[in-house]
Structure 1
């Protein structure tokens, strides 16, 4: 790591200064800012997006997979429970309200990627056996 004490006084925007600095030092911009990431790509400046890195190390879960979780709280819809993976990913457990505070096995039914992150939908494995 190297600290740069200078400034690019002719440039007003902070993002533009970062891009210029990366070019001058042949460095890499590390950011979680979506717009700065796009500017760097457009300017052909190497960029590492922290969100992409975080997503790359998240465990992959697929429909049909069984996970052991602890149902923590109510979901938004009736009879839902909510659990979380170790990385903070929310698991919505359909028919999970009665299991709040308990450790149960759930079967993944679907995975939804949103701009806010990934949501996993599941149902208790106990219910799957009963059906």
Structure 2
């Protein structure tokens, strides 16, 4: 079972990801966060396998939260898949440098996201 946390400041996006993940027999949504600080705390507490994380969130953005998760020995085993609506090379490069396990555009196919979570 792949344990997943979703981090996005948009409730509708979180709901869509929740519905998608809950329909999969091999995935379990264990938490949701609306900002970077909350997702870092959730990862420390729940130790999920994967975080689906938006780049742009209030307060601590997704890229900063990614670096904290990747640099902390307690949370470094959690893989982060970065999600964004913006196809900017700088986001891709910064996410990969920061330790992201993947980078997806939100308007992609749902199966691509599920494949990334499983990988």
TM-score, structure 1 normalization: 0.26
Greater strand share, structure number: 1
By relative contact order (CA 8 Å, sep 6+), the higher-ranking structure is 2
Greater helix share, structure number: 2
Q: Tell which structure's C-alpha radius of gyration is larger.
A: 1
TM-score, structure 2 normalization: 0.28
